A = this chain, B = another copy of it.
């Protein structure tokens, strides 16, 4: 089969939707496809460092941006389910059920996607609005706007919004 291109706009920061996105991305990468995940709005959460960076422009944040920064989860470990979240118990339940059947954890899926060459792009407009600096996001990702997304989507044969 020829190499084809896939793009996913990851708008959601829900544990289960991120899991679905990463399973599709890993599967496509394993089949030799080029995969790009554009993280926008709540999807940016998976790219956030869990620790506050030593340097970085967080001092320039507005009060609103500081609030977004505090209230939005940092990294994959803090995400909640989109349904049946049970005051935060849903995601740990889903994690345990996945582990019990030998499935990959969200973190393993994320690492695997990165190792397989899935490209992660942070939406620069969302970053501006929410006040996320490059230093606060993980390394080896790209920063792009909607034009870059559309350029890639034009070359892809599967484009999903999750």
Contacts and interface: CB of A to CB of B under 8 A. Distances in A.
Interface of A: 1, 4, 9, 11, 13, 16-17, 20, 23-24, 26-28, 30-31, 33, 40-42, 62, 64-65, 67-68, 71-72, 82-84, 93-94, 96-98, 100-101, 103, 125, 128-131, 145-147, 149-150, 153-154, 157-162
Contacts of A4: 154
Query: How many copies of this chain are found per oligomer?
Result: 3
A34 to B, nearest CB: 13
Chief secondary structure at chain A's binding surface: helix
Contacts of A72: 84
A78 to B, nearest CB: 13
Considering residues A71, A96, A150, A157, which has the most beta carbons from chain B within 10 angstroms of its beta carbon?
A150
